[in-house]
Structure 1
Amino acid sequence: MANERTALLAHTAYSITSESAMSTSGQQEPGFVNRGAHSATPRSLNTFFGVIVPTVLSMFSIVLFLRTGSSVSEGIRVLPQGYWYTVLYASIVLQLCLLVCLVGANMYSRTSFLILMVVTISLLTILISPLATGPHSFTITHQCGSNRTCVYNAIYTGFNYTTLRNNLGRELQCEGLVVLLTQDYGFFQRINIWPPFVIIGVYCASLSAAMCSLIGASRILHALALDQLFGLPLAPAAITSQSGNPWVAVLYTWALVQLNFIAGLVTVFYLLAYAAVDLACLALEWASAPNFSIVVLLLLLLILHYRSPTSSWGYISQALIFHQVRKYLLMLDVRKEHVKFWRPQVLLMVANPRSSCQLITFVNQLKKGGLYVLGHVQLGDLDPVQPQYNFWLSLVDKLGVKAFVDLTLSPSVRQGTQHLLRITGLGGMKPNTLILGFYDNCVPEDYFLLDPAFFHESGGKSSEGDDFGVDLPSLQAHFPPVRNTECPRCLSAEEYVGIISDAIKMGKNVCLGRYFFQLEGERDAVKNDDMERSIDVWPLNLLQPESSSYVDVCSLFLLQMACVLNMSTRFRRAKLRIFLCVEAASGDQGWMVKEETLRDLLGKLRIRASIKIVQWDTVVKLHGGVNEPWSSKPGVAHTEGQPDGLESVASGAPESFLSGVNRLLLEHSAQAAVRFLYLPCPPADSRQSEQYLAQLEAVTRDLGPTLLIHGLTPVTCTEL
């Protein structure tokens, strides 16, 4: 048993030190991996404990392995026995290991594979033999003392319930069985289908370990020679063959092992190692430390994985993740996209996170496992944006959202947004939906002063930095204060509407979020969880009453987005309500037909929602029959990329009509958590941008959190 502990300790020392020592040499042999300067562990240890001790242990373990055969079995003695015979046999085996290591790492790997096959066959015979071998008796002989020999008769019964029951009781204490188990390490030979299988397996395992120690110790000597730690005596060990094999170092190791100069020294090292382990266990006992188990070990690994501090060593997990992500991104073929697997992939443009945190967290609920990117345009052409990434990533960590960050530098917000819409994402993961904050004259609130995530529970500001050196004061200092009424806007109405038009022309869905600073926080949502909350959807273009279609692409997109939000954790218990606007002139029969059609559609799409019938005759009368869309005005070109069925807002809608629509929404959706409204196409003439925004502002005034959506992507499919 001492031989097994020796092998384990020597092999562990070799595994820890040899690769690191090779990395300092600047050369490597085929079959061995150079892991770079960061893996040079012995540099952080002193030379004695980091290099000399493992080297000597590796050399001495060869001698011990070469002598294991004489103590494995007392029953088979084919060759002559004696001290000099043992030296002869060990020398022959050592010569074989020397030849393999002199050829190089390729020969060593092939030999190791051959030995692995032999050992595997030996193990299989040990597993199969109890089933194939019948009951038989044999004699056990061993030395009981200095002058007498003990002989016992033993019986092997195979798998037998009576034997098992007796062995579990007092019968196990019989003297003959206890020798068999404690003093005859080769007892598996006696029940094997061919007894030499066991001896062959033991010798092959010892040979493999001896070659491993020989090649490991030679590589360490080679690295020591290259580092010139011992000067001229070890200088020839730096010589290598053309293939990089340090053959002189192999001869050095062979000579030291053959002459056995290190037996006395290595014994002292082992005693010191065992003494250190015993002292450590004694210290744990005095400290009353709990014993470790597999469960505790797994918990520690999980804690280290998720809570490990930042280090300069690098992260192997990042390399593995990069490899897997790249592989699966290449497999994500855009040509294989299907509407059944559609999900929101969102680019949210953020001007200042101080006033947009609620919208950022809301979109995190809306993405439904899709791509989520926070985009920001830095105005100018000289200020680099790369140093800002850490602040934005720290903000993402602080808010707890699963989002990427993409920053760009541009002379205008519109041009920068175009850049992000084109280049954000990779492969099949690219944004299909653009979300903007609403363009109005509301004075935004500084969310950094309201969110508990930016404060200690004691009420003071947190000054603790994250793992990348960004603390809260630095984060707050990086983002400018929120805009007040006197500050000029960095974005004009024409440019804002132009961004919407650009996104539609590029085939992107567009969402405008208003009043999301009024959205209840996470803590309030938990407190009000038992209260009846609703998600209200108005899938009709309310600014075009004469447009009776509520099942076009945009309307279905509204339903899909509302359904996605309803499936999120925060809004899972909210009720989904769909409002169907009807006129009295259509009669009860017309209402029922529209309701049944909508209910049938919801059933096919497996959307659980209640339908609310709303009469809006009084609102329609205020419209006055105005049906002149922006794009049909003389001299104005039609909006490019506008698909059929997507209505534009009428340019001449009276103020009374807009107020009537607003009152209708307030009457039926005042208590909703979130409202989804139909966003008409913007005007093609940029001179009408302010009028377009004014109409949207009038319709959504004082509604609360509202998302106006213009959908271009088909998101429904009724085919199996």
Structure 2
Amino acid sequence: MSSDNNESVSGRLGTFAGVFTPSVLTILGIILFLRLGYVVGAAGLGKSLMIISVANLISVLTSFSLAAIATNMKVGGGGDYYLISRTLGIEFGGAIGIVLFLAQSVSIAFYCIGFGEALTAILGLAGHVTVQLIAGAALLFLFLLAWIGADLATKFQYVVMAFLTLALLSFYIGGIRQWDTGLFMENWVAREGSPSFWILFALFFPAVTGFTQGVSMSGDLEDPGKSLPKGTFAAVFLSILVYFSVAVLFAGSTTLKTLAGDYGAMKQISLYGWLINAGVIAATLSSAMASFLGAPRILQSLASDKIFPFLVPFAKGHGPSGNPRRGVLLSFGIAVAIVFIGQLDLIAGVVSMFFLISYGLLNYATYFEASAESPSFRPRFRWYNKKTSLVGALICLGVMLAIDFKTGIAAVAILFAVFQYLKQVSAPARWADSRRSYHLKLVRDNLIRAQKDHEHPRDWRPYVLVLSNDEEHMKQLLDFSSMIEGKSGITTAVRIVQARGYRAVKFKAEAEKDLARILSEKESSAFSLVLSSEYTANALSVLCQSFGLGPVKANTVLLSWNEQYGKSDDPVGFDNYRDMVRPAVQSGCNIILWDHKEMPQIAEGYDKNRTIDVWWKDDDTSRLMILLAYLITRDDHWKDAKIRLLAYYLDRDNAQIMQMLFDTLSEFRIQAEPKIILGINEEVFFKTSGQTDLVFIPVSLKKDDALMFGELPVDQLLPGLKTVAMVMATQKIDLDSSPEDGRAGELALLFDELKHAEKRVEMAKKIALQAAKSATDFIKDAHEIEINDPNLLTHLKEKIALQEKTEEANKKVLKEQAKLNAISQRAKEEGLFVDNEVP
């Protein structure tokens, strides 16, 4: 093991060499030496400090996110790409991986051009071509270092660090010696006609992007979880001090005009100008070297994950350390192309946009991970709050759009396009990300909210238990269930293993594996469940009563009429479909028995001439059937199917009754063609529905276990039909309920009744108080009446009447209070919370 400050024997990097040094050398680079003076000169010190503050706010917030997510998982190679892909998934990971690789590759050229400009000025040369030639030569030198590997490049960093330190010391001494307080105050505000805040921000922002260079080397770190937070924060806070202090010294030692007109102003202020030249050369080369090391490793990690098939060759590494030479070669080619463009300021804007996207996604990935509230989110970094990550992501997005709205929208659109492409074509992910945890968090939150809301008939949707122990029947039942879901319900495929003891455990494991395979082959959205029980009927009864979570409970059981049930020695066989129907009905679940002998016709392509018949008896079963028929028409293959409502319970056929059926369908808001069938028998039945693609019929199970359609045995009807769904409803189905109906409406009426009772009690109390006051006043006046007063008898009668009135009023109060107490008790029992507790 190595210490934090040294390379280990095996070549693994510690905090100082692997994170702090490449990060700080990239941050304190070309912008510091060649562009910060211009920013101060063009913007004034006040606005410059704002630019530095906003830029570093992004780096600080992103560092917090990085520290949290890096200490919550074992970080592999690929840096930002690895962290984002393992959190947001393969689509976001692939999109940001490409962006990060391009950003790092472009940065190589950006720093090499800066080196070319600096060396051209030092040598007193001129010309755009000269800058490009020098940049190209530097690029070739760095390519050779990167080709050899990270070890030699890491040692090169220490030489650069020494020159950078000496250059800054020389500048600080020179700036302090030339300090002028009056000039400092004068330089606080910019001159007229200076560039806008966001133009200057885009020019400066690449200065703070280097803090992720250490992250890009995550695969070469001895302890990424420890080194990434420590090294990144140290580099960020040191760079903040340097940039603020350098900007202040610029403003206190040189005029804004000089700063804006001379990119080499730092050299003029420094005690030894040649040290600034050495610092510029060292900083630009080291920054380019860091990007040359980071970009290929991002590409290598992206290729290793096999997200883009055409990138797979770049996963190959060379030597014991797995140096990504193919990625180095590709980064070199991109950098060469960018060098030919040669415009440093133009490239700075492009690099800013790329890095802002990556930082925004890194912040969002951390916020996403924390928002999932997963028990596995336990970062060792304690000073973290998910709100900081959200703020960081929003700031990155806002700054992108503020710098260049059109370019920002285009960048987001490109990222979204890559995301959508990967969503359609990517292979299954090779790792677990945080999306499932986030979805489970949403399930929990939404179930809790749904539980608090009152159930209403309008909320009904099919939660279907599909029961079958035969593979082919299960597949066909799943097809039918997916149709009656109507894109709103939930299906669970169930197998009941009839066994006990050790055999039950074995058979259950085999059944679970087999059922999972079936669902995978069908690409079904259904869930799977396998139960083991010695008695199938008991298992089904318990299943129907207990299946679900909170307000989502099973309400429909789908069985196959055609299934050949298991033999007596079959450990996973049902006994008889009737044995399945009874416990399901007794448990309150609707039943659908499906005769699917012509299922291939249903599963095949689109046919707009299909017909669905619903035999109508105007009861709950009928309403369930017409609703299921409607839900089937939501399926793409059945969207133009015609529904016929066949009313067979009527004794006559006339315009008035037909209008009643039309009105019923209108209230249900279901398009169907009503038809009255008189005198139902087998001949009429076959003539009406014999050629119909799908028939819904209501059935009942008689005491002798005969399944009947009215007075007709189902066994005699099915051979003459194509595909039949036999339905029994055990729940109330209300298709025309208004929002005021249901539980909410009942509680509203109870609430109103409670309030009226409270008012009656208050009114009775007022009357009782008035009666008592009248009686009291009369008694006071009665003391003045003498015994021989001729009106004495009248007064006595009035006193008795007042006393009776008072007693009656008090009785009224007690009566109304009793009523209120009774209503209050009902309200409590119904879960209606009352503000004013009744004593």
Q: Provide TM-score, normalisation by structure 1.
A: 0.51
Q: Does structure 1 residue 375 correspond to structure 2 residue 342?
A: no
Aligned match for 1:329, one of 447, 452, 467: 447
Secondary structure in 1 matching 2:466: strand
User: Per the alignment, do residues 317 and 305 of structure 1 end up closer, same or farther by CA in structure 2, a change over 3 Å counting?
Assistant: farther
Q: Partners of 1:305 and 1:371 in 2: how far apart?
A: 24
Q: Does 1:420 align with 2:572?
A: no
1:612 counterpart residue number: 675
Contact 1:576 1:610 (C-alpha < 8 Å) held by counterparts: yes
CA gap of 1:196–1:367, structure 2 versus 1, over 3 A, is closer
- Identify unmatched segments of 5+ residues in structure 1: 1-20, 26-41, 80-88, 110-142, 148-185, 229-236, 239-243, 444-481, 540-549, 620-660
Task: Give, in whole Å, the separation in 1 of the partners of 2:640 and 2:586.
Answer: 37
Counterpart in the other structure of 1:30 = none
User: Equivalent residue of 2:722, what SS?
Assistant: coil
Q: In structure 2, what is the equivalent of residue 82 of structure 1?
A: none
CA drift at 1:521: 4.5
Q: In the TM superposition, what is the alpha-carbon distance from 1:370 to its structure 2 partner?
A: 0.9
Helix, strand or coil at the partner of 1:376: strand
Residues of 1 paired with 2:336 and 2:17: CA distance? 32
| Residues 421 and 49 of structure 1, relative CA distance in 2, 3 Å threshold | same
Match for 1:52: what amino acid? A
The 8 Å contact of residues 42 and 195 in structure 2, kept in 1 or not, is answered as no
* Conservation of the 8 A alpha-carbon contact between 2:13 and 2:221: no
Query: Shift of the alpha carbon at 1:206?
Result: 8.3
CA contact (8 A) 1:682 1:692 kept: yes
**Partner Cα distance (2:474, 2:205) in 1:** 68
2:789 counterpart residue number: none
Q: 2:470 — aligned with what?
A: 352
- Distance change >3 Å, CA 674–CA 49, structure 1 → 2: farther
Distance, in Å, in 2 between the alignment partners of 1:571 and 1:205 is: 60
Quote how far apart the aligned CAs of 1:609 are.
Answer: 1.5
Paired residues of 1:581 and 1:615 also in contact (CA < 8 A) = yes
CA-CA distance at 1:536 after TM superposition: 0.7
Cα deviations by residue, 1:426-464 (Å, 9 ceiling, x for unpaired): 2222221111111x6x76xxxxxxxxxxxxxxxxxxxxx
**1:699 paired to 2:717:** yes
CA RMSD, Structure 1 to Structure 2 (Å): 5.7
Letter in 2 for 1:376: R
SS of aligned partner of 2:733 = coil
Q: Which residue of 666, 678, 681 maps to 1:603?
A: 666
**Preserved contact between residue 645 and residue 672 of structure 2 (Cα < 8 Å):** yes
Give the CA deviation at 1:394: 3.6
- Aligned residue identity for 2:690: A
CA deviation digits over 1:380-406, x for unaligned, max 9?
233333565454234223223321112
What corresponds to 1:505 in structure 2? 586
Identity across the alignment (%): 17
The 1:426/1:306 distance shift into structure 2, 3 A limit, reads farther
Q: 2:643 aligns with which of 552, 571, 576?
A: 576
Residue 633 of structure 2 is aligned to residue 562 of structure 1 = no
Q: CA deviation at 1:615?
A: 2.8
What are the superposed Cα offsets for residues 230-280 of structure 1, whole Å, 9 maximum, x if unpaired? xxxxxxx99xxxxx98999789989x9999999876654445467788942
Name the residue aligned to 1:630. none
C-alpha distance in 2, partners of 1:412/1:521?
A: 34
Q: Does the residue aligned with 2:558 lie in a helix, a strand or coil?
A: strand
1:356 alignment partner, SS class:
helix
Q: Does 1:668 align with 2:633?
A: no
Aligned CA distance change for structure 1 residues 334 and 418 (closer, same or farther; 3 Å) = farther
Contact 1:366 1:561 in 2 (8 A): yes
Give distance in 1, aligned partners of 2:687 and 2:658: 21
| Aligned CA distance change for structure 1 residues 191 and 506 (closer, same or farther; 3 Å) | farther
Q: In 2, are the aligned partners of 1:433 and 1:508 still within 8 Å (CA)?
A: yes
Deviation larger for 345-354 or 497-506: 497-506
Q: Secondary structure at the match of 1:551?
A: coil
* Pairs within 5 Å for 1:198-597: 209=208, 267-272=284-289, 279-280=329-330, 297-333=415-451, 335-368=453-486, 369-381=488-500, 382=502, 383-384=504-505, 385-386=508-509, 388-438=511-561, 490-493=573-576, 496-523=577-604, 525-526=605-606, 529=607, 532-539=609-616, 550-581=617-648, 586=651, 591-597=654-660
Q: Is the Cα–Cα contact under 8 Å of residues 421 and 431 in structure 1 kept in the other structure? A: yes
Contact 2:23-2:235 within 8 A present in 1 as well:
no
Report the Cα offset of residue 534 of structure 1.
0.9
Indicate the SS of the match to 1:719. coil
**Partner Cα separation in structure 2 for residue 298 and residue 203 of structure 1:** 23
Match of 2:21 in 1: 56
Question: Would you say the 8 A contact 2:18–2:214 is kept in 1?
Answer: no
Tell me how far apart the structure 1 counterparts of residues 717 and 569 of structure 2 sit (CA, whole Å): 26
Alpha-carbon distance between aligned partners in 2 of 1:310 and 1:498, rounded to the nearest angstrom: 42
In 1: Cα distance, 2:289 partner to 2:42 partner:
36
Instruction: Give the distance between the partners of 2:722 and 2:552, measured in 1 at CA.
Output: 32
Q: CA deviation at 1:666?
A: 1.5
Is the 8 Å Cα contact of residues 612 and 692 (structure 2) preserved in structure 1?
Answer: yes
Cα distance, 1:668 vs structure 2? 1.1
Q: CA deviation at 1:520?
A: 0.7
Structure 2 portions without partners, runs of 5+:
69-120, 126-186, 246-274, 296-327, 338-353, 355-409, 740-839
CA deviations 1:46-88 (Å, max 9, x no partner) are 6369983553222224544765643434579999xxxxxxxxx
Which is bigger in relative contact order (C-alpha 8 A, separation at least 6)? 2
With over 3 angstroms needed to count, the CA separation of the structure-2 counterparts of 1:206 and 1:296, relative to structure 1, is closer
Q: CA deviation at 1:337?
A: 2.0
- Check conservation: 1:675, 1:705, Cα contact below 8 A: yes
CA contact (8 A) 2:594 2:724 kept: yes
* SS of structure 1 residue aligned to 2:492: strand
1:472 corresponds to: none
**Alpha-carbon spacing, 1:72–1:608, altered in 2? closer, same or farther (3 Å):** closer
- Does the 8 A contact of 2:43 with 2:190 survive in 1? no
Q: 1:391 to 1:613 in 2, by over 3 A?
A: same
